Structure 1
Amino acid sequence: MILAQNHQQQLSGNKYWIIVLSALLLSACSPKTRPVAKKPEPIKEVEKIEKPAEKFKQANISLLAPFRLNEIKLKAATKADVEKAAMAIDFYQGFKLGVDSAALLGQNFKLKVYDTQDNNSQLSSLIDNGGLVGSNLIVGPVFPDGLKYMTNYSISRNIPIVNPLAATQPSEFANPNLISIVNNIDLHAEKIGNYISKNYNPATTVIVLINPKGANDEVFAKPLRTYFANTKKPFTFQEYASVFTLETRIVKGKQYVIMVSSSDKKFVIPTLDKLMKLKKTGLNTSLFGHPDWIKQNYNTDQLQALNTIISSSYKVDYTRAEVNKFIKKYRLLFNFEPGEYAFKGFDIGYYFGRLFSIYGEDYLKHLTKENYKGLHNSFHFIHDHELGYINTSLMLLRYKNFALNIVE
Structure 2
Amino acid sequence: MNFKKVYGLLVWSALVLAACSPKIKTPKPEPAKPVENEKAIDKKPVKKFAQGASVSLLVPFKLSELNLKTATKAEIEKYAMPIDFYQGFKLGLDSAAAQGLNFKLNVFDTEDDNAHIASLYKNDRFKQSNLIIGPVFPEGLKYISAYSKENNALVVSPLAASQPADFNNPNLISIVNNIDLHAKKISAYIAKNFNPASTIVVLINPRKTEDEQFGAPIRNYFQANTKFTVQEYASAYAFETKMIKGKQYAVVVTSSDRAFVLPTIEKLYKLKHLPAGGYSIALFGHPNWVKQNYPTDKMQDLNTIVSSSYKIDYKNSAVTSFIKKYRYKYGFEPGEYAFKGFDIAYYFGRLLATYGEDYKDYIVKDRYKGLHNNFSFIHDEKLGYINTSLMLLRFKNFTLNIVE
Residues 189, 55 of structure 1: CA spacing in aligned structure 2 closer, same or farther, 3 A cutoff? closer
Residues 369, 337 of structure 1: CA spacing in aligned structure 2 closer, same or farther, 3 A cutoff? same
| Correspondence for 1:199 among 168, 171, 193 | 193
| 2:217 equivalent to 1:223 | yes
Greater RCO, 1 or 2 (C-alpha within 8 Å, sep 6+) = 2
CA–CA distance in structure 1, aligned partners of residues 78 and 113 of structure 2: 14
Q: Which residue of 1 aligns with 2:236?
A: 243
Displacement after TM superposition at 1:378 (Å)? 0.7
Counterpart secondary structure, 2:170: coil
Residues 5, 60 of structure 1: CA spacing in aligned structure 2 closer, same or farther, 3 A cutoff? farther
Deviations 1:170-218 (A, max 9, x none): 0110000000000000011111111111111111000000001112211
Q: Which residue of 2 aligns with 1:377?
A: 373
CA–CA distance in structure 1, aligned partners of residues 123 and 382 of structure 2: 29
Q: Which residue of 2 aligns with 1:340?
A: 336
What amino acid maps onto 1:393 in structure 2? S
CA–CA distance in structure 1, aligned partners of residues 322 and 129 of structure 2: 27
| 2:108 equivalent to 1:98 | no
Counterpart secondary structure, 2:126: coil
| 2:261 equivalent to 1:268 | yes
Q: Which residue of 1 aligns with 2:142?
A: 148
Residues paired across the two proteins, number: 370
| Correspondence for 1:293 among 289, 292, 314 | 289
What amino acid maps onto 1:81 in structure 2? E
Q: Given that residues 5 and 112 in structure 1 are in contact (C-alpha distance below 8 angstroms), is that contact kept between their aligned partners in structure 2?
A: no
* Correspondences of 1:164-203 after superposition (within 5 Å): 164-203=158-197
Residues 69, 259 of structure 1: CA spacing in aligned structure 2 closer, same or farther, 3 A cutoff? same
Q: Given that residues 399 and 405 in structure 1 are in contact (C-alpha distance below 8 angstroms), is that contact kept between their aligned partners in structure 2?
A: yes
Displacement after TM superposition at 1:5 (Å)? 7.9
| 2:156 equivalent to 1:162 | yes
| Correspondence for 2:130 among 136, 141, 157 | 136
What amino acid maps onto 2:211 in structure 1? D
Displacement after TM superposition at 1:6 (Å)? 4.9
Counterpart secondary structure, 1:258: strand
Q: Which residue of 2 aligns with 1:127?
A: 121
* Correspondences of 1:352-367 after superposition (within 5 Å): 352-367=348-363
CA–CA distance in structure 2, aligned partners of residues 116 and 310 of structure 1: 34
Q: Given that residues 17 and 107 in structure 1 are in contact (C-alpha distance below 8 angstroms), is that contact kept between their aligned partners in structure 2?
A: no
Which aligned segments of 4 or more residues in structure 1 are displaced greater than 6 angstroms?
A: none
Counterpart secondary structure, 2:315: coil
Counterpart secondary structure, 2:347: helix
Residues 392, 10 of structure 1: CA spacing in aligned structure 2 closer, same or farther, 3 A cutoff? closer
What amino acid maps onto 1:250 in structure 2? M
Q: Given that residues 255 and 284 in structure 1 are in contact (C-alpha distance below 8 angstroms), is that contact kept between their aligned partners in structure 2?
A: yes
Larger Rg computed on CA atoms: 1
Residues 250, 206 of structure 1: CA spacing in aligned structure 2 closer, same or farther, 3 A cutoff? same
Q: Given that residues 398 and 407 in structure 1 are in contact (C-alpha distance below 8 angstroms), is that contact kept between their aligned partners in structure 2?
A: yes
Q: Given that residues 5 and 114 in structure 1 are in contact (C-alpha distance below 8 angstroms), is that contact kept between their aligned partners in structure 2?
A: no
Q: Which residue of 1 aligns with 2:58?
A: 64
Counterpart secondary structure, 2:121: helix
Q: Which residue of 1 aligns with 2:252?
A: 259
Q: Which residue of 1 aligns with 2:301?
A: 305
Q: Given that residues 68 and 85 in structure 1 are in contact (C-alpha distance below 8 angstroms), is that contact kept between their aligned partners in structure 2?
A: yes
Counterpart secondary structure, 1:259: strand
CA–CA distance in structure 2, aligned partners of residues 392 and 53 of structure 1: 27
Residues 277, 81 of structure 1: CA spacing in aligned structure 2 closer, same or farther, 3 A cutoff? closer
Q: Which residue of 1 aligns with 2:79?
A: 85
Task: Name the TM-score, length of structure 1 as normaliser.
Answer: 0.88
Task: Name the TM-score, length of structure 2 as normaliser.
Answer: 0.88
Deviations 1:203-259 (A, max 9, x none): 10000000011122111111111111111x211100000010011100111000000
Displacement after TM superposition at 1:316 (Å)? 0.4
| 2:25 equivalent to 1:15 | yes
CA–CA distance in structure 1, aligned partners of residues 70 and 229 of structure 2: 61
Q: Which residue of 1 aligns with 2:112?
A: 118
CA–CA distance in structure 1, aligned partners of residues 80 and 224 of structure 2: 43
What amino acid maps onto 1:342 in structure 2? A
CA–CA distance in structure 1, aligned partners of residues 117 and 49 of structure 2: 28
Q: Given that residues 189 and 223 in structure 1 are in contact (C-alpha distance below 8 angstroms), is that contact kept between their aligned partners in structure 2?
A: yes
What amino acid maps onto 1:147 in structure 2? L
What amino acid maps onto 1:206 in structure 2? I
Q: Given that residues 193 and 228 in structure 1 are in contact (C-alpha distance below 8 angstroms), is that contact kept between their aligned partners in structure 2?
A: yes
Q: Which residue of 2 aligns with 1:318?
A: 314
Q: CA RMSD in A?
A: 1.8
Q: Which residue of 1 aligns with 2:36?
A: none
What amino acid maps onto 1:121 in structure 2? A
Q: Given that residues 314 and 378 in structure 1 are in contact (C-alpha distance below 8 angstroms), is that contact kept between their aligned partners in structure 2?
A: no
* Unmatched segments (≥5 aa) in structure 2: 1-14, 29-44
CA–CA distance in structure 1, aligned partners of residues 360 and 256 of structure 2: 36
Residues 55, 252 of structure 1: CA spacing in aligned structure 2 closer, same or farther, 3 A cutoff? closer
CA–CA distance in structure 1, aligned partners of residues 231 and 74 of structure 2: 45
